[in-house]
Amino acid sequence: MAPLPRWVRSGDQAISPTAHFTGHVWVHHGLGDPALATPAGRLLHGMSRVVFVPLDALGGPTLEAFLLARHRIIDHLLSEEIEAGRVGQVVELACGMSPRGHRFATAYGDTLTYVEVDLPGMATRKRDALSRIDSLGDRHRVEAADVTSDADLGRVFATLDPEQGTAVITEGLLNYFPTAQVRALWSRVARELRRFPQGIYLSDLHTGASAGLLDQAFAAGLGVFVRGRVHFHFADDGAAEGALVAAGFRSGRLHAPVEYDGVIPGTRARGADRVRVVEARTTAIPGSKSTTGTTT
C-alpha cells in the first residue's frame, strides 16, 4: 500500500484525516454538497477499501455502514428536537467536513442558528467550502476553537441566545480520545448546556459490549488508517449512560440503530449495530415524566 500522505499525523491530529474521509462518504452517499468533498477524502476513501478488504471477506463490520447509521440517527433526533420547538440553536463540535450544518441551515432557515466548530486549520477549510455554496450568514457560521479548552468553548457558547434551547453534537470524535478526556468533554458540554432552557447532547459511541474479535481487528485497522489509537471506553451501554449522568447531565441514553429499523435506511446493514448514538439531556422534556438519572 502506498505511504500515507504527509498530512496524516499521530496523536490528536489523527482526527483530521477522518474528517476528510467522512466528508467524502457523505457526498458519495448523497448526504453532502460536492463542495464539502476534498481530494484528500477521495484518496482516503480509496485506501480504506484496501485496508478493510480482509475483514470484509471474513464478515466483519463495514466502515460505511456504521458511519451512515450514526449520521442518519443523529439527524433524525436533531430534527425531532427542532420541530418540537425544543432546540433553536446547534453547536457542532469537531465538525470537520460534515454536511449537517449546511443541510439544517438550509432546511430550517431563520428558525435555527447553527455554529460549526473545529481547530483553526479545519475551520478555515470548512468556512471556505461553505462560502463557495453561499451557506454562511448570521445564522450559520464556523468558529475556530479547541474542544478540550474550557476558555474556547465558553467563548463559543457566550455568543448564543441564552433563551433558546440548544443542542451540541460531536460526531466521529469520542473514540479517538482516552476515557478521561471523554469524561472531561462531557462535563464541559453539560456545564455549557445548563446555560439554556433546554439542552441536548448527541454523539456516537462504541462500547466494549459489541467489541468481539473482528471488532477489535477492525479498530486496529482503523487505528493504522488514521495513525492513532481507537478506544472502547465503557463496558456496555449502561456504563456509558451512568458516566453521562456523572458528568452532569440529567439523563443519558444510548440508542441502538435497530431501534430505527423501518424509519431510517441502513440500520440493519452489516456493522451498523456496532455503533450507539448518545442522547443526553440537561433538562427534562416539558410535559414528560422523566426524572433525574439514567434513562433506559
Is residue 201 pLDDT above 90, yes or no? yes
Q: How far apart are CA 199 and CA 182, in angstroms?
A: 18
Query: What is the model's pLDDT at position 46?
Result: 60
Q: How far apart are CA 24 and CA 10, in angstroms?
A: 21
Per-residue pLDDT tens over the stretch 239-286:
999 999 999 999 999 999 999 999 999 898 877 888 899 999 999 987
Query: Residue range 164-191: average pLDDT?
Result: 94
Between 196 and 27, residue with greater pLDDT: 196
Query: What is the model's pLDDT at position 10?
Result: 36
User: For the whole model, what pTM was predicted?
Assistant: 0.84
- In Å, what is the CA distance from 23 to each residue of 12, 68, 81, 190, 208? 18, 12, 24, 27, 27
Tell me the three cell numbers of residue 252.
443519558
Q: Mapped to the 3 state alphabet, what secondary structure does 104-126 carry?
A: HHHHHHHHCEEEEEECHHHHHHH
Q: What is the mean pLDDT of the chain?
A: 82
Is residue 55 pLDDT above 60, yes or no? no
Angle at 49 between CA 51 and CA 235, to 5 degrees: 60
Query: What is the model's pLDDT at position 262?
Result: 93
What residue segments make up the domains of the chain, in order of their start? 11-281
Identify the bridge partners of residue 141 per DSSP, sorted by sequence position.
Answer: 115
Superfamily of domain 11-281: Vaccinia Virus protein VP39 (3.40.50.150)
Identify the bridge partners of residue 116 per DSSP, sorted by sequence position.
Answer: 92, 142
| DSSP-derived secondary structure letter, 137 | B
Cβ count within 10 A of residue 96: 26
